[in-house]
Amino acid sequence: MDLSQLLASTGDGVMTILFFIIALSVIVAIHEYGHYIVGRWCGISADVFSVGFGPTLLSRVDKRGTRWQIAAIPFGGYVKFAGDKNAASVGGEEVEGAGPARNTMLGAPLWARALTVAAGPIANFILAVFIFAGFFLIQGQPTAKLIVASQHELPVGFESELLAGDEILFVDGIDLMSSEGPYLDSLPDAQYRTYTIIRDGEQIEVSGPNPFVPRIASLLPRSAADDADLKIDDVITAIDGTSVYTFDQIIEGVEAGGGGEITLDVWRDGDVIQLELTPRRVDNPLPDGGFEQRLLIGVTGEYFFIPTTEPVGIVEAFSRAFGRLWFAIRLSLEGIWQVIVGGISTCNISGPIAIAEASGSMASQGATSYILFVGMISVAIGLFNLFPIPILDGGHLVFYAYEAIAGQKPTDRALRIFMSIGLSLIGALMIFAILNDLVLCP
């Protein structure tokens, strides 16, 4: 049984919470382990490593004296280093029973404290890179020649004469593998296209649907399509009674509706059903940076045939993974800035409820989608923790930068004030995000 079947056979709400807890626990555990292991390498002892908060469910003490525990409230975790007053790594006035001061967070050199604090977000980025690299290694890359490996199941009206092993040279005279590929969308919409192929060493022409049929390859969580119960492998055959043969016609039909409710004829598992949905205005990221507000329903498409692939080398996989990491960081920072200056909607700020729903939605699309989602959330949590807000890792790094420049630590009174401000900011942001999830941007 795959994840989608499991989600369907059990209560959606229960499974959504479960997948959210799994994702959050993995991400937090990796984040905190980054703090722990670098702290240990830097000679700082850890008293507690906890996954979750509240009463302890399971625990053990290792030979170094660190208590590893799983707590009852699974929404987070922490490392309490020797010398910390609490899990926020706030130094205590005194250190009792922690060994030499050098082994405590309070007495460690500045460089050791800074590395230990920075290691948490960096661990999140490393987790994301390994997830992305694993995806590229498993997925592979298309071969230099466009060869059909298999085809997705499609309804009547989308018949294809292509066979597995066919090498596609042209579609209506256009080479999909060249810079001409995007121009296929500029051709008049037609139910069928002419494919020039090589089969058994002979060049022939066969008929088939547009390469980009109106089949749903993926769904965005909390999108109009997701809320309307569209599913992966659904084929949209008509919008408001008008037949649809290409994925581009979905975009045109959505825009033609002007944002009003539209009716979709959807082919699913051999039957045609009707679904109604209302497209939403979404701040859509552009490939070269920036955002564009468009009417979208939140679906993506792909070729109706599955091209053959070849393995990707480890170096290439990690190179692409770092590229995806940088893209995610850049997109997040640009999005935050656009929210601040009013360039895009504050609805782009999601809280735990939206993230939990997204966890369940991505899990229902399969293990690959869910694991990639975990990678993206790991990037977001790592980046968020680097913000220069007291209580967060970035706030601690700002204090350490002050200490390096001024030659002394901030006073305890200043730290308490800044920590209170940071806690208030985080609390206000969390309340706003939850309001977005429940009321403002449901």
Please check whether residue 86 is in contact with residue 80, taking contact to mean a CB–CB distance below 8 angstroms.
yes
Q: Which two tokens stand for residue 353?
A: 């409820």
Count of all residues that appear for the chain in the document: 442
Looking at residue 86, its pLDDT comes to: 56
Predicted confidence (pLDDT) per residue in 58-85, tens digit: 999 999 889 999 998 888 889 999 877 6
pLDDT band with cut points at 50, 70 and 90 for residue 113: very high
Predicted confidence (pLDDT) per residue in 331-364, tens digit: 888 888 888 887 777 777 888 888 888 888 888 8
User: Span 229-250, mean pLDDT?
Assistant: 93
The residue with greater pLDDT, 359 or 325, is: 325
User: Span 41-46, mean pLDDT?
Assistant: 93
> Which has the minimum average pLDDT: 16-25, 107-116, 339-348?
339-348
Cα distance between residue 186 and residue 271, in whole Å: 31
Question: Which residue, among 164, 90, 89, has the nearest Cα to 119 in the 3D structure?
Answer: 89
Predicted confidence (pLDDT) per residue in 192-226, tens digit: 999 999 999 999 999 999 999 999 999 888 889 98
Which residues participate in catalysis according to the annotation? 32
Q: Which two tokens stand for residue 179?
A: 């810079």
CA-based end-to-end distance of the chain:
31
pLDDT band with cut points at 50, 70 and 90 for residue 232: very high
Cα distance between residue 284 and residue 296, in whole Å: 9
Helix (H, G, I), strand (E, B) or coil at 393: helix
- What rounded mean pLDDT belongs to the chain? 87
User: Span 157-171, mean pLDDT?
Assistant: 94
Domains in the chain: ranges and CATH: 3-43+108-139+376-440 (no CATH), 144-208 (2.30.42.10), 218-299 (2.30.42.10)
Looking at residue 73, its pLDDT comes to: 86
User: Span 275-281, mean pLDDT?
Assistant: 91
Question: Which residue, among 309, 300, 301, has the nearest Cα to 148 in the 3D structure?
Answer: 309
Looking at residue 183, its pLDDT comes to: 60
pTM: 0.85
Contacts 24+ apart (CB under 8 A), 49-54: 49/79, 50/77, 50/78, 50/79, 50/80, 50/87, 51/25, 51/77, 52/25, 52/76, 52/77, 53/77, 53/78
pLDDT band with cut points at 50, 70 and 90 for residue 91: low
Beta bridge partners of 111: none
Q: Which two tokens stand for residue 215?
A: 């089949």
For tokens 């091209």, the residue is 307
Q: Which two tokens stand for residue 297?
A: 């329903």
User: Span 150-166, mean pLDDT?
Assistant: 95
Cα distance between residue 265 and residue 157, in whole Å: 14
Residue 97 has pLDDT above 50, yes or no: no
Question: How many Cα atoms occupy the beta-carbon half-sphere of 303 within 13 Å?
Answer: 21
